[in-house]
Amino acid sequence: MVQPLSRRRLLGTLAGLPAIGLLAACSDSADAETKAEALPENVSGETTAAVDAPPAQGEVDVSELMKPGPLPEMAKGSEDAPVTIVEYASMTCSHCATFHNNTLPKLQEKYIDTGKVRLIFREFPFDPRAEAGFMLARCADGKYFPMVDALFKQQSNWAPVQDARTALLNIAKLAGFTQQSFEACLTNQELLNDVRAVRQRAANDFDVTATPTFFINGKKYAGALSIEEMSAIIDPML
């Protein structure tokens, strides 16, 4: 059940929270966190040897996964792509930032831009700061993905700091927000409810407990997959 948000409560929470560890935002449980942390990551950008596809951690009904949720889908790639990836992420999760900053550009070039993969990005916030980040992306006047990209690239500048409100405001201003539009976005109760509903549906219906979690043609994988691991999963599906 979504808890009510009084006007400016989220803004006050952002300003008052102590600094948090980024890794702590990446799972609801120690077991899920360990699995997300343990998966290898290619952060150097160098070409590595082919790897085996990691085992799927379950499978869901694709028709249920693709049913419309409370918010419009944010997607990259052709609707006719043979492979659909649904990613659940949290804006304060370090593993999600690793994937978006290091793997996603390679995935975009190799599979999304070539019509082989469609990526659907869905919100799974673990804390008020992640909720705020997603809300700002939704309010960014058609610039959802650029705002998400900026927040992941600058994650260390706002997610763990004492005054996240000011840090987020400074980033938002670069995306065209004013003080007024920033506060209006973060006090939008309906938007907050919808962001939370996306997460709740993922947790209840698809057993998402860690971020990032990917569903690749319905098969579930948790952790910041490298491009080599992604390729090993995707290529047999093409």
Condensed to tens digits (0 to 9), the pLDDT of residues 175-231 reads 999 999 999 999 999 999 999 999 999 999 999 999 999 999 999 999 999 999 999
pLDDT at res. 50: 74
Task: Look up the domain containing 88 and give its range.
Answer: 45-237
Question: Does 40 or 58 have the greater pLDDT score?
Answer: 58
CATH number for position 73: 3.40.30.10
Residue 1 CB partners (closer than 8 Å, separation 6+): none
Residue 89 lies in a domain: yes
Tell me what the pLDDT averaged over the chain comes to.
86
**Overall average pLDDT of the 80-94 stretch:** 98
Q: What pTM does this model have?
A: 0.84
* Of 33 and 175, more confident: 175
Q: Is residue 19 situated within a structural domain?
A: no
User: How many domains is the chain built from?
Assistant: 1
16 in a structural domain: no
Pairing assessment for the beta strands 117-123 and 83-89 based on DSSP bridges: parallel
Decide if 94 is inside a domain: yes
Position 19 pLDDT exceeds 90: no
- Contact (Cβ atoms closer than 8 angstroms) between residue 131 and residue 10: yes
User: How would residue 40 be classed by pLDDT, with cut points 50, 70 and 90?
Assistant: very low
Percent of the chain predicted with pLDDT > 70: 80
* Cα distance between residue 73 and residue 196, in whole Å: 15
pLDDT of residue 157: 96
Is the pLDDT at 153 greater than 70? The verdict is yes
| The 213-216 sheet, strands edge to edge | 74-76, 117-123, 83-89, 213-216, 219-222
| Residue 15 included in any domain | no
pLDDT for 95 equals: 96
Answer yes or no: is 98 within a domain: yes
In a domain, 196, yes or no: yes
3 state SS of 210: strand
Whether 60 is covered by a domain: the verdict is yes
pLDDT score recorded for residue 8: 54
pLDDT at 26: 74
